[in-house]
Structure 1
């Protein structure tokens, strides 16, 4: 199996999905040069990552409690909430839906080629089974779907230990989507109900979908 392939149509994209597992993790990015490294390790700090993460999470927890209807039950759930709201963490977002991943690849950065990463995993852990202090390898897990966006996007995470921040490309298949193909593929995804309003079921998602409809008509 080729580890990297270029497609130009939605049909060609579908052809690449025939052999993937139901547990395949998918991630779309608007820029084909994207590296599979969580935001914590791309934060511009090269030393003492663990302490920096600890300090950020401590401050986040002290201030976030006033904004949450239900407090997280574990450290990994805290990380997921922090990631959702833009704080750099050791979590990397994935989806079980290749169409959702394709949307993120073609709906952003119209000036450059996009990419969908496919990562076939043998198993995923339950969230409560992960001990962050003993984490030694990149681990996929099923998150608690306490957020509407996470549910709508069939969201999954990989969590990355400090000593292994990047998921190496040898384990991942890359589907490159040229920038010239993005517009047509996006239009098809919208027809299939894959768009901002369905993947972001809130007023922000609705507003972005309305903007797309106006600009693209």
Structure 2
């Protein structure tokens, strides 16, 4: 797996923004998504894997639906439910990404208590991931004219996780754009990944591909305070990414508890 260790803000910025963007429909659109981590040693495990109860995934989602009062137009579409559950903190097989490298850097540097540790931004090319989809699934995406799935399109591919897992003998991965449930999803420029096996680790699947579809850019501990200052100046903060009084409180708490940079 390619790993970069930049030594300056300029090198870090170039590592995240320097790749050529493919032209599509007369415009340049990056097909790379990013995920920030406060600790570079952390892998890409889903929340249900971190919980250590992957076998209870169905129970978690079933009871989330049971006790929720959110009417969906497609009640049998697991993708709307798992998106809502992920968004509100239920352990799921879904992993959060963002199209914005700056948003990923925010999550790599927002925890001031971990500024003594290297962070990381993981990047994956979702277009290359989708070229490895089973033919029947890939044809659905190509027929839609888009580059990423939506929950409606996934509902046509396989309305339930059980049917999704049975589509192919080998685990496969795809990215989908969550619906705009609230301003947080919009402001974080969110993308979600999902594998056709709740047990399969995302980093292992991406790194095993040939060539590897995952890159890791280390955010050295020595750079974190500087990067955090640049993000604050660019207004990439909790106040924006978590709209409302909770985000405002988190931003002010972090800002006024951060030690001065030497």
Could you tell me the TM-score, scaled by structure 2's length?
A: 0.74
Contact persistence 2:72–2:80 (CA under 8 A): no
- Residue-by-residue CA offset, 1:149-207 (whole Å, 9 max, x unaligned): 11110001001221633233331110001112111100111101101101111111100
Q: CA deviation at 1:20?
A: 5.3
Do the aligned partners of residues 164 and 187 (structure 1) sit closer, same or farther apart at CA in structure 2, a change above 3 Å counting? same
- For 2:203 and 2:18, locate their aligned partners in 1 and report how far apart those are by CA, in whole Å: 23
**Aligned equivalent of 1:160:** 195
Give every structure 1 segment of 4 or more consecutive aligned residues whose post-TM-superposition deviation is greater than 6 Å: none
1:121 to 105, 122, 126: 126
Matches within 5 A, 1:1-217: 3-16=2-15, 17-19=17-19, 21=21, 22-45=30-53, 49=55, 52-65=56-69, 68=70, 70-71=71-72, 73=74, 74-108=77-111, 109-122=114-127, 123-130=147-154, 131=158, 132=161, 133-135=163-165, 136-162=171-197, 164-168=200-204, 169=207, 170-216=212-258
CA distance in 2, matches of 1:197, 1:20: 31
Aligned residues: 209
In 1, the alpha carbon distance for the partners of 2:241 and 2:257 equals 19
Verify the 8 A CA contact 1:138 1:167 in the aligned structure 2: no
Q: Distance in 1 between matches of 2:223 and 2:49?
A: 31
Q: Give the direction of change, closer, same or farther, for the CA distance of 1:111–1:72 in structure 2 (3 Å limit).
A: farther
SS in 2 for 1:146: coil
**Structure 1: 5+ residue stretches without partners:** none
Output the CA distance in 2 between the equivalents of 1:183 and 1:72: 46
Is the 2:164–2:196 Cα contact (8 Å) retained in structure 1?
no
| Consecutive unaligned residues in structure 2, runs of 5 or more | 22-29, 128-146, 166-170
Preserved contact between residue 48 and residue 93 of structure 2 (Cα < 8 Å): yes
Aligned mates of 2:101, 2:20 — CA distance in 1? 10
The alpha-carbon distance between structure 1 residues 178 and 71, as it changes in their structure 2 partners (threshold 3 A), is: same
Q: Contact between 2:31 and 2:125, CA under 8 Å: does it hold in 1? A: yes
Distance 1:24 1:72, change over 3 A: farther
Alpha-carbon offset, residue 42 of structure 1: 2.4
